[in-house]
Amino acid sequence: MNSVGKKLLLSIALPTLALTLVALGFLWLRTAAAMAEATHDEALRLAELQQSVAGNFLQALVIVLLFAVVLVGATAVSLRIFISNPLQKLTMAMKRAEEGDFVVRADETGNDELARLSQAFNRMLGRITSLKVEEIDNRRDLDEAREELEVTHQLAGRLKELSILYDVARTVTSSIELNEVLQKITDTVPARLGVPKFSIMLITDGALEIRMAHPGGGEGMTFAIGEGVCGHAAATRKSVYVADLESDQQFFRVRGGFGARGRGSLLSLPMLHGEEVLGVLNFERPEKAGFSAAEIEFFTAVADQAAMAVKNARLHEQTVELSITDPLTGVSNRRHLFAQLELEIARANRFGTQLSFLMIDIDYFKKLNDAAGHTAGDTVLRQVCDLMQSSVRRVDTLARYGGEEFVVLLPQVTRAEALEVAEKLRRLVEEAPLEHREAQPDGKITISVGVANLPIDAVEQGQLVDCADSALYASKRSGRNKVTTYAQGMEVHPGRERGPHAQKKRITGEIPVVALKG
């Protein structure tokens, strides 16, 4: 009995039926009381009347029941039309509204209480709809504001990254000397990127070598390509990230220094220039999972900048080396020789030290070329050059002067000491089992050496070179495979072209070696 219509129907029908039955019962009781008080004759008449009334009572009862049924039916139809259906429609509208359909509206037909209730409900829905629209608009505005704020944060982060990247690029490209570039990278990158431990490794002789590290330690340590985290990064040409060094089992290798097991996280990024792997940058933080995906991407851009700076520095080194190096023998060429000679003379004059100059010529080199060919001659030149290079100091300068002639510049070396060096070089070449020596006299390849000293024999560059050349000519003239120190008057020997003009051409290489040489 959940329907309001049914409840109303019962509330109308039941009282009506009860009232009718009470009235009939009252009439029946009144008739019975009158019969009890009447006389015999009256009783007989009342009995007859009672029988008549009983019959009529039954008829009335039937009529009352029929009336009650008709009344209930009519009431039910009326309630259904005027109450139940409108209430059901209103209920369905409310249910849809409850489910979130705020566009639905209740039927407002009529002007009774239900119609006014529907109108009130519709107004409430309208207000809720407006509020919902405002909520949606506010939420959309909030989402847009949140997105704009997020974009702003992202832009701020990108601007910061670009600023850091610009600073790093500007700093590391401010020099073209490789060591300076490496130092600038080591000084700048850890500070700007917030990395407490950093190292830069370059591929040298097929292995990774730690060239510089922050805060220091491990320089000079080498790793094979494919060894450890850094070696794997170089081998795969991809970044390698170990989020927890303490638990890592794939790359761990005890080396007693950089790369040994520690705590924290390690990121190794290869420095790539095209298809070439130049080296690896290592970033380390003390906390686990210390690098985010965004940071790894950004650090990769930093590694690209570092790779470009290192490549430019190496290209500069190669360019300088090509400009000052003899392509056949790999030692200094004439241009670098005279630049170095000028510096050493200025230094010797400034500090009052001596400077010795050796001029060396391979004996009978033309005969070797004629007998064994120019390829053999080139081989001998390289071998003789390698022997002498291995026997002089790092501060000394060995240069190819031209053809088969070499020069050794000996800073802070006296005449006597220079004579010993020259004799050592002569014996070294004579005793060496050089190729193609069978094509030479006595089956040996030998050299002749002339020695001059500043300030004893000369006081300026051209004069020093000419004195050494005069001494070399004297060695050749006296039988070759000898060392001769300059003596006054050697430069004016009839067999030598001499004078200021000849001396200038001799220094610049515009005239050939004198006939006795070779």
Is the distance from CB of 279 to CB of 304 less than 8 angstroms? no
368-387 residue pLDDT tens: 888 888 888 899 999 999 99
Separation CA 17–CA 37 (nearest Å) = 31
Neighbouring-strand partners of residue 208? 203, 223
**Residue 309 pLDDT:** 87
Is the distance from CB of 252 to CB of 235 less than 8 angstroms? no
Please, which residues have CB within 8 angstroms of residue 258's CB and are 6 or more apart in sequence?
199, 210, 213, 217, 218, 221, 282
**Residue 485 pLDDT:** 95
**Residue 360 pLDDT:** 96
Peptide bond into 215 cis (omega under 30): yes
Is 180 annotated as catalytic? no
**Residue 411 pLDDT:** 95
Separation CA 384–CA 433 (nearest Å) = 11
> For 173-272, where are the alpha helices, taking DSSP H only?
178-193, 228-236
Separation CA 128–CA 136 (nearest Å) = 12
Task: Split the chain (518 residues) into runs of 10 and give each run's mean pLDDT.
Answer: 54 66 67 60 62 64 73 73 75 79 75 78 80 81 78 64 71 77 86 88 90 85 89 92 81 48 84 90 90 88 88 82 81 90 94 96 89 87 93 93 93 95 94 82 89 95 94 93 92 59 41 43
Peptide bond into 455 cis (omega under 30): yes
**Residue 453 pLDDT:** 97
Neighbouring-strand partners of residue 389? none
**Residue 274 pLDDT:** 86
- Start-to-end CA span in the chain (Å): 134
Picking from 197, 168, 184, 194, the residue whose alpha carbon sits closest to that of residue 282 is: 197
**Residue 312 pLDDT:** 87
**Residue 155 pLDDT:** 61
Residue matched to tokens 């009326």: 78
DSSP string, 403-421: TTEEEEEEET--HHHHHHH
Separation CA 493–CA 514 (nearest Å) = 12
Is the distance from CB of 68 to CB of 13 less than 8 angstroms? yes
**Residue 38 pLDDT:** 53
Separation CA 283–CA 122 (nearest Å) = 67
What radius of gyration, in Å, describes the C-alpha atoms of the chain? Answer: 58
Backbone angles phi, psi at 210, to 5 degrees: -75, 110
Among the options 284, 404, 405, 491, which is catalytic? 404
**Residue 236 pLDDT:** 92
**Residue 215 pLDDT:** 85
Separation CA 333–CA 326 (nearest Å) = 5
> Could you tell me the pTM of the whole model?
0.49
